[in-house]
Amino acid sequence: MGKSCYPLRNNSNHRRSIAASLVQGVYVLECDRQQNRQPPQALALPWWEFFNFKLIQVLIDDHDQSYFGAIYEFKFPYPYPNYPGQRPPQYVIAFRGTINKSSTRAEDLKLNLNIMINNLQDSRRFQTGTDSARDIISRAGPGNVWLAGHSIGSSIALLIGRHMAKNMGAHIESYLFNPPFANSVLTAGLAVAANGGHTSKAKENDAFSVLSSWIPYLFISQSDMICSEYIGYFEHRDKMESIGAGKIGRLATKHSLGSIVSAARGKDSEAIHLIPSAYLSINCSPCLNFKEAHGIHQWWKMDLEFKYKLYQYK
């Protein structure tokens, strides 16, 4: 593929494939570490070198010393000369999901629990990832950086993207593969009750209004029970709009069971896995098993049966 491959990245399928491959690079980095594979036996390098990136930093979990993320830099002089259309990213920050091995299982499962109880923002991985993203963005600018992740790594990337948009006004191009959907969306009535009977806030204090112009690329397999509820989440809001109940639908969109529990405990009640807008891509291709439906490998295939839709919060 070599240098001549890069202009193809203006194609959305190639950009998706590249983002997924860089996430896979993090998985293989950690497997190399666990199996003590050193160059030339190490297997991770081709996952980024093939697309003309170099690895500049590995993100390490302080608790189990595992590699959970990586920062890649585009090799060619930046900005890329004479490049038509969308520019390539100068940096990509990628996060892996769960690896079910003895040295990573405990911390990875703890992260999954954090997602379920709406507590991921307190994790060390989120804090490390956010600090790294803030540093890269301050150097390169938000338009020159991608975020990418798979499974729990996708949840970390999503939360970092939310944080940057909400607190810094920085909209980072984000590729979110199979992020876990923590809980079913609650009815608007329960959400109102938890909010003391108030159904609205001032727009400047409404996180969904602030976040609405950040539109990540969200990749969901309809056969994946971990993430497929995002499909219903967005479709429900459209349905409520179509029957003239948009206000109720928008209210329910902001809340989940985890966020209501957090509010009852006096904590921040924002449902951190919920997003107001997304370019939703649904893989409708049949899957043989859960591993295939949830795996990162599906996203660099070129023969997928897709449904696409832009959902933008009003």
Specify the residue for token string 């050193």.
Answer: 38
Alpha-carbon distance values, 88 to 74, 228, 231 (Å): 8, 29, 29
pLDDT at 126 over 50: yes
Report the pLDDT averaged over residues 222-239. 90
pLDDT at 203: 43
CATH architecture for residues 3-311? 3-Layer(aba) Sandwich (3.40)
pLDDT at 23 over 60: yes
pLDDT at 84: 53
Q: Is 304 exposed, middle or buried (0-12, 13-18, 19+ CB in 10 A)?
A: middle
Pick from 2, 44, 54: which is nearest to 24 by CA?
Answer: 44
Domain residue extents for the chain: 3-311
Highest mean pLDDT range out of 83-92, 96-105, 256-265?
A: 96-105
Report the pLDDT averaged over residues 41-64. 96
Residue pair 86/57 in contact (Cβ under 8 Å)? The answer is no
More confident residue, 30 or 254: 30
pTM: 0.85
Q: Give the number of C-alpha atoms closer than 13 A to the C-alpha of residue 206, restricted to the C-beta side.
A: 18
pLDDT digits (tens, 9 = 90+) for 102-116: 889 899 999 988 888
Q: What angle do CA 272, 273, 277 make, to 5 degrees?
A: 105
How much is the mean pLDDT over the chain?
A: 83
More confident residue, 252 or 155: 155
Alpha-carbon distance values, 58 to 26, 54, 70, 83, 129 (Å): 8, 11, 4, 29, 10
pLDDT digits (tens, 9 = 90+) for 127-182: 999 999 999 999 999 999 999 999 999 999 999 999 999 999 999 999 999 999 97
Report the pLDDT averaged over residues 15-39. 96
Residue 168's identity, in one-letter code, is: M
Report the pLDDT averaged over residues 281-285. 96
Instruction: Measure the CA–CA gap between 92 and 65, rounded to whole angstroms.
Output: 22
Model confidence band, residue 186 (pLDDT cutoffs 50, 70, 90): very low
pLDDT at 184 over 70: no
Residue pair 35/44 in contact (Cβ under 8 Å)? The answer is no
